[in-house]
Amino acid sequence: MPDEPFKSTGLFKKYTVQNKIFQNREVLRHSYSPRELPHRVDQIDSIAVILAPALQGATPSNILIYGKTGTGKTATVKFVGSELENESSEFSPCRMVHLNCETIDTQYRVLAQIANHISGHDLKPSDRAKNTIPATGWHTDQVYSELKNVLEQAGGLQIIVLDEIDKLVKKSGDDTLYNLTRINSDLKNARVSIIGISNDLTFKDFLDPRVLSSLSEEELVFPPYDAVQLQDILHQRAEMAFLPDAVSEDVIALCAALAAQEHGDARRALDLLRVSGELAERESSDKVLEAHVRRAQENIETDTMSECVQTLPRQGKMVLCAMLLVSSSGQKVFTSGSVINIYRELARELDVEPLTHRRVSDLINELNMLGIVTARVVSHGRHGRTTEIYFNSPTNQIRTVVMNDPSLRECSILQPLL
């Protein structure tokens, strides 16, 4: 007997009633590329003037761009790159290859991704290589050689954007950058320029001086947005995202003010506005209220903290566990020295090579930058300085997330955290 056709139960019907809030919520997402970038005219001009020689056949300087999360670095680079591609000619083509080094974080993957992108983007279908570089299996020298072949065949200028370049350097060292900054000496018909984007000024400490000199021919710093500037950004997006009268000035001002407290993070402001709208939509409200913004802030902070802890590298989780152990013993404020001592005990039990004192201090600073802890340097006069650390909020959620790591759950030293 044939199966009866599946009949919908109407599960989603109550959630897809006539929308009273959004007309296009996608413009509030990080992936959206606006046609105008409020309050980034100076930065757009600074990048454009550096890249302009490319339109005359010259190789522009490499650029390092710094700025905290949500300051418009990536959006600005993509905007300028798009303009450059549109204005370049077939006699002197300019193309931009954008890589996120949070996920593409080894030399093999970076070189392979660049080559595969170019061979699929710049060449005519009949000219495309039949085989792309596999995800694994080749020697790095072979991948580098194939990248040079692909570049020569494509010709013109390739601007390689290494977003979150610090993640690549901290995981894989600076060999990738060494090779890319010197690849032009091996090319005849093509040129390469590099733009590195980072929210960590200290990552330069990990670079060989020769690499740093080649990579940072030009440096730009993106300042945080203030509350007024964030309001302008939200106004621009809200006009496209929401139905008329769904969002008031007060709601936009509140989202901007809350995000301005988070070092002027435009991404946080957009997330607040979008999630506030979604909460209003779920209540079948026809307006986004300030109460929705307050609830959205609570939701985002919870989700952000969990994601930050989950995505920490293993050594970062070990340092965090050491902090949690010190805190659980009753010390609300503790020193970096006590954290490092427990970290070394953890490393021994887990059979992990311990990091140097300086590298552990760097990880403490990263946890501070992520907002998981607060770390402050306190001077004791002639007795020197020490770093005092404390958690900004109750640690129950942090403990739950970090102890989901199976390798940490089995560690006897960490049993008090379970």
CATH number at residue 249: 1.10.8.60
Q: Is residue 248 part of a domain?
A: yes
Q: Residue 102: how many CB atoms within 10 A of its CB?
A: 13
Q: Are residues 252 and 375 in the same domain?
A: no
Instruction: Give tens-digit pLDDT for 362-399.
Output: 899 888 888 888 888 777 666 677 888 988 777 888 88
CATH of the domain at 361: 1.10.10.10
User: Does residue 349 have a pLDDT over 60?
Assistant: yes
Token duo for residue 415: 């049993």
Q: Give the span between the Cα atoms of 21 and 280, in whole angstroms.
A: 8
227 is in an annotated binding site: no
Q: Is residue 181 part of a domain?
A: yes
71 is in an annotated binding site: yes
Q: What is the DSSP string of 104-164?
A: S-SHHHHHHHHHHHHHHHTS-GGGS-SSPPPSS-S-HHHHHHHHHHHHHHH-EEEEEEEET
Q: Give the span between the Cα atoms of 322 and 338, in whole angstroms.
A: 8
Q: Give the span between the Cα atoms of 3 and 48, in whole angstroms.
A: 63
Q: Is residue 131 part of a domain?
A: yes
170 is in an annotated binding site: no
What pLDDT is attached to residue 15? 65
Last residue of a domain, one of 308, 339, 367: 308
112 is in an annotated binding site: no
Instruction: Give tens-digit pLDDT for 280-317.
Output: 999 989 999 999 999 998 888 777 778 788 888 889 99
Q: Give the span between the Cα atoms of 386 and 382, in whole angstroms.
A: 12
DSSP β-ladder status, 334-335 and 385-391: antiparallel
User: Does residue 127 have a pLDDT over 50?
Assistant: no
Q: Work out the pLDDT band at 90, boundaries 50, 70, 90.
A: confident
Q: Give the span between the Cα atoms of 205 and 253, in whole angstroms.
A: 39
C-alpha separations of 19 from 13, 130, 236, 285 in Å: 12, 47, 21, 9
Phi, psi (degrees; rounded to nearest 5) at 132: -90, 165
Q: Are residues 148 and 251 in the same domain?
A: no
CATH of the domain at 154: 3.40.50.300
237 is in an annotated binding site: yes
Q: Is residue 81 part of a domain?
A: yes
Q: Give the span between the Cα atoms of 30 and 266, in whole angstroms.
A: 9
Domain limits for position 320: 312-417
Q: Are residues 197 and 258 in the same domain?
A: no
Q: Cβ contacts of residue 9 below 8 Å, gap of 6+?
A: none
74 is in an annotated binding site: yes
76 is in an annotated binding site: no
Cross-strand pairs, 92: 89
Instruction: Give tens-digit pLDDT for 14-35.
Output: 666 667 899 999 999 988 989 8
Task: Outline where DSSP puts E strands in 247-391.
Answer: 334-335, 373-379, 385-391
Provide the whole-model pTM. Answer: 0.73
Q: Is residue 45 part of a domain?
A: yes
129 vs 280 pLDDT, higher one: 280
Q: Are residues 165 and 250 in the same domain?
A: no
Q: Is residue 21 part of a domain?
A: no
Q: Is residue 168 part of a domain?
A: yes
